[in-house]
Amino acid sequence: MSRLWNRWSLLLVLGLLLAVSCRTVPSGTDRVHGVRQVAPWNAVRLQELDDAITTAVSSNRTPGAVLWLEHRGARHVAVFGNRSVDPVRESMTEDTIFDAASLTKVLATTPAVMKLVELGRVDPARTVATYLPEFTGGGREAITVGQLLTHTSGLPPGLSRAEAWLGPTEALRRACVEPLMDPPGSRFRYSDINFILLGELVHRVSGRTLDRFCAVEFYRPLKMRDTGFRPMPPGSLTPVARADVTRMAPTERIGPTVLRGVVHDPTSRRMGGVAGHAGLFTTAGDLARFCRMMLNGGVLDGHRVFRPETVRAMTSVQSPPGLPRRGWGWDIDSPYAGPRGSVFPIGSYGHSGWTGTSLWIDPFSDTFVILLTNRNHPSESGNVIGLRRQVGTLAAQSITDFDFSNVPGALPSEPLVR
């Protein structure tokens, strides 16, 4: 009887432990943890990481967030707050679909261009006019594809929206007549126009629109089932007909409409939702698959989408000496590299997006950090710039089996040139 009682006691204790470890916490500022694999985490730093995001939610810097930290196959995934607070409150979930904003540049446009480079159909050293013959005059004929990718083209940050223009054709026409602010290659200036042009370059060279090209070449092979563009009538605030938006994180309220399943970026909306600079939607789980592919040198689950040398080219410094260090599309060491934090080595890479999205990949420690928020829901008052830096720092500090103070191959620190 005593032996039977001990067995039942053991089962009861194990059951209670399981219930605690897999708990589901109500919405708000509480966090919901997924299953944690055994990993060499620093538990104190990991808790501080979660607490930093909880504080951002409770202080209304974002309504909610999804965190995905993965190191050498072990992962820490946590969900915070709500994905919607207007017009109704909905809890955040791990599979929430976010407006990726400028992550589009490195999850769609850059990979598409580099795939064409790999196939020998595009050369970063050639002029943009080689592929878009109308892109000439005013010094534009000297701009190379590589200068678009590194934001050193001399073009202004974005297309003017002062006039009521619509459609991708008109966007391209305007991009092709934008006056330069600096001589090509002389200064770093982050510009959506660069990637609007690159999106059209992919279309011209491949014969497929950017959304179609990426779906066939990347998202389907990588099983990124929730990742893609959402085409719409140019200028529309209405989701695509019959679209399921129940898992989508809404963004800004514009008049009576809360954007949900409609790209937030105004220029991308004017273009119909498919643009080289913004328009992609994705989940943390899908991004994790993309990051693993990058860390694996272009292959995932036996399916190769890039050669290793293509990944190295994308993520190595390609900007001119003396300017902020950027790869092809990817940020390495620029004023926008906040998600790297203060610990990940220079030579790791990533990107961020206006809506509150970011990812950072460190090939030295085999780590990536994804932070997805909809900080501009229901208004633009939310801000996660400081949180990104905190998350990057604490994520690296939570790893105990890698010496970040001595990283062979990391780049030396340089004075930041703007």
- pLDDT at position 40 is 77
Per-residue pLDDT of the chain (418 residues; tens, 9 = 90+): 444 334 444 433 334 333 333 333 333 344 444 444 455 799 999 999 999 999 999 999 999 999 999 999 999 999 999 999 999 999 999 999 999 999 999 999 999 999 999 999 999 999 999 999 999 999 999 999 999 999 999 999 999 999 999 999 999 999 999 999 999 999 999 999 999 999 999 999 999 999 999 999 999 999 999 999 999 999 999 878 777 899 999 999 999 999 999 999 999 999 999 999 999 999 999 999 999 999 999 999 999 999 999 999 999 999 999 999 999 999 999 999 999 999 999 999 999 999 999 999 999 999 999 999 999 999 999 999 999 999 999 999 999 999 999 999 999 997 655 5
Q: Assess if residue 266 is contained within a domain.
A: yes
Query: Phi and psi (nearest 5°) for 43?
Result: -60, -35
Residues 356 and 342: their CA atoms lie apart, in Å, by 19
Could you tell me if residue 124 is inside a domain?
no
> Which pLDDT belongs to residue 415?
64
pLDDT score for 10: 41
Q: Is residue 176 part of a domain?
A: no
pLDDT of residue 416: 56
* pLDDT of the residue at 417: 53
156 is a domain residue: no
Q: Kindly report the three-state secondary structure assignment for every residue of the chain.
A: CHHHHHHHHHHHHHHHHHHHHCCCCCCCCCEEECCCCCCCECHHHHHHHHHHHHHHHHCCCCCEEEEEEEECCEEEEEEEEEEECCCCCEECCCCCEEECHHHHHHHHHHHHHHHHHHCCCCCCCCEHHHCCCCCCCCCHHHCEHHHHHCCCCCCCCCCCCCCCCCCHHHHHHHHCCCCCCCCCCCCCCCCHHHHHHHHHHHHHHHCCCHHHHHHHHHHCCCCCCCCEECCCCCCCCCCCCCCCCCCECCCCEECCEECCCCCCCHHHHHCCCCCCCCCEEECHHHHHHHHHHHHCCCEECCEECCCHHHHHHHHCCCCCCCCCEECCCCEEECCCCHHHCCCCCECEEEEEECCCEEEEEECCCCEEEEEEECCCCCCCCCCCHHHHHHHHHHHHHCECCCCCCCCCCCCCCCCCCC
Show the domain range for 336.
Answer: 98-103+214-397
Q: What does the pLDDT read at residue 242?
A: 72
Give domain status of residue 197, yes or no.
no
- The whole-number pLDDT of residue 274 equals 98
> Would 343 be classed as within a structural domain?
yes
Please check whether residue 34 is in contact with residue 78, taking contact to mean a CB–CB distance below 8 angstroms. yes
Please report the pLDDT score of residue 258 as a whole number.
97
Instruction: Indicate the number of domains in the chain.
Output: 1
* Cβ within 8 Å of residue 65, ≥6 positions away: 53, 56, 57, 79, 80, 81, 92, 356, 371, 372, 373, 384
pLDDT for the residue numbered 408: 96
Does the residue 372 lie in any domain?
A: yes
Indicate which CATH number applies to the domain containing 345: 3.40.710.10
**Residue 384 lies inside a defined structural domain of this protein:** yes
Other Cβ atoms closer than 10 A to 1: 5
pLDDT, position 5: 39
User: What is the pLDDT, as a whole number, of residue 414?
Assistant: 78
Indicate the pTM of the whole model.
0.91
